[in-house]
A = this chain, B = another copy of it.
Amino acid sequence: MATIKDVARVANTSPATVSRLLNGGRVKKATETAILKAIQELDYRVHTMARGLKTKKSYTVAYIVPDLTNMFFAQIAKGAQEIFHQAGYSFMLLSADNNPEREEEILRFLLSKKVDGILLSSVTTSNQQVKEIMEDIPVVLIDRVLPDLEADTVLVDNVNGAYLATEALIAEGHRRIGIICGPQELLTGRERYRGYIRAFEDYGLALNESLIKFGDFEISSGYAQMCELLKQPERPTAVFVCNYYMCLGAIIALNEKNIKIPEDLSFVSFDDYELSQVYNPPLTAVEQPMVEIGEEASEILLRRMADNSKEKIVKRLKTKLIKRGSIKKADSLQLNG
């Protein structure tokens, strides 16, 4: 493979001049033509490792996700990739596979790869390693915050999203509203739960502990907790499921027990994917602006890489309730309208 020296030799000039041209410096027109011709001829490409060694920049950023096959993170990655591509950065997507040790390894790897910036949706709850890394490399947190860590962060207004979902059920007259919460170690889990509680408070309704179940955002727990809900002596008339995967599990449980949405049970979930439209009836759901999250985070990271001085930004994006056909008016409807 041709090097900058070869190009210089063929173009009858020096490596310094070739480098200058490559990096937008000024070069006599004639020299430029000769160099360009040589580059073409030799099919020369800069050796980014050599360049990076000298410049201490890799023009590469990475996004570490908990799970590659999780649609939420895949969509965010899509948004991020677009922005970095436009900015001339190369973008690596890495999955920690829900394994904290793997995440640690990846972080070490990125450090020695000398990436210029990191987007992180962490699977850990400890911030030690990240804290250290942030001294060398800008990091933007996405969706998963770390305790007591002052860092740029992009997330979604979970409280409001959950509030909207719960409110929609209340508005149709439901009072026995079950919830399948996410894990309370995660901020998103806590916040969505809080949105539910707040809606009850605002409408002056009493919470019923037996209708509040905790899952872990995975299909299996959606299934298990929905079964729990259905076992209650007084079944809920509606249920709010706090993420997509638990929603899948919940629906499997419903199908098994032959419980129909919305005739037998009204249904809302957090996250809006294809399923929501494909299901019959289409599901009312809280939509997160996933691609935007990725874009926003990337832009923050880009700014941060250019100038690491300013104080940290926390950006919250709005969620939206998409009304479809999975909520029915409660039978015992006694509204004032």
Interface residues of A (CB under 8 A from B): 1, 45-50, 52-53, 58, 68-69, 71, 74-75, 77-78, 81-82, 85, 90-95, 97, 102, 108-109, 111-114, 136, 219, 248, 251-252, 255, 274-275, 277-282
Query: Is the Cβ of B94 less than 8 Å from the Cβ of A91?
Result: yes
Q: How far is A251 from B75 in the complex, measured between Cα atoms in Å?
A: 23
Query: Is the Cβ of A93 less than 8 Å from the Cβ of B92?
Result: yes
Query: Which B residues are CB-close (under 8 A) to A58?
Result: 49
Query: Is the Cβ of B45 less than 8 Å from the Cβ of A112?
Result: yes
Query: Is the Cβ of A114 less than 8 Å from the Cβ of B49?
Result: yes
Q: Which DSSP category, helix, strand, loop or mixed, fits chain A's interface?
A: helix
Residue among A48, A77, A111, A255 with most chain B CB within 10 A = A48
> In the complex, how many angstroms separate the beta carbon of A88 from the nearest chain B beta carbon?
10
Query: Is the Cβ of A77 less than 8 Å from the Cβ of B68?
Result: yes
Query: Is the Cβ of B113 less than 8 Å from the Cβ of A90?
Result: yes
Q: A49-B53, A53-B50, A278-B275 are in contact. Are A95 and B81 (CB under 8 A)?
A: yes
Q: A255-B278, A275-B275 are in contact. Are A47 and B1 (CB under 8 A)?
A: no
> Which of B85, B102, B108, B251 contacts A45, CB < 8 Å?
B108
Closest 8 CB pairs of A and B: A93-B93, A49-B52, A255-B280, A45-B112, A49-B49, A92-B92, A69-B74, A48-B112
> In the complex, how many angstroms separate the beta carbon of A41 from the nearest chain B beta carbon?
15
Q: How far is A183 from B115 in the complex, measured between Cα atoms in Å?
A: 39
Q: How far is A52 from B50 in the complex, measured between Cα atoms in Å?
A: 8
Q: A69-B71, A279-B279 are in contact. Are A112 and B78 (CB under 8 A)?
A: no
Query: Is the Cβ of A74 less than 8 Å from the Cβ of B68?
Result: yes
Query: Is the Cβ of A68 less than 8 Å from the Cβ of B93?
Result: yes
Query: Which B residues are CB-close (under 8 A) to A52?
Result: 49
Query: Is the Cβ of A47 less than 8 Å from the Cβ of B248?
Result: no
> In the complex, how many angstroms separate the beta carbon of A95 from the nearest chain B beta carbon?
6
Q: How far is A268 from B102 in the complex, measured between Cα atoms in Å?
A: 38
> Which of B85, B112, B248 contacts A278, CB < 8 Å?
B248
> In the complex, how many angstroms separate the beta carbon of A71 from the nearest chain B beta carbon?
7
> In the complex, how many angstroms separate the beta carbon of A168 from the nearest chain B beta carbon?
21
Query: Is the Cβ of A90 less than 8 Å from the Cβ of B109?
Result: yes
> Which of B1, B46, B77, B277 contacts A252, CB < 8 Å?
B277
Smallest CB gap from A132: residue in B: B43
Query: Which B residues are CB-close (under 8 A) to A74?
Result: 68-69, 74
Known: A77-B95, A248-B278, A252-B278. 9 other contacts (CB 8 A): A45-B111, A47-B112, A68-B78, A92-B92, A92-B93, A92-B94, A93-B95, A255-B278, A255-B282
Query: Is the Cβ of A46 less than 8 Å from the Cβ of B112?
Result: yes
Query: Which B residues are CB-close (under 8 A) to A255?
Result: 278, 280-282
Query: Which B residues are CB-close (under 8 A) to A282?
Result: 255
Query: Is the Cβ of A95 less than 8 Å from the Cβ of B78?
Result: yes
Query: Is the Cβ of B48 less than 8 Å from the Cβ of A114?
Result: yes
Query: Which B residues are CB-close (under 8 A) to A91?
Result: 94
Query: Which B residues are CB-close (under 8 A) to A46?
Result: 112
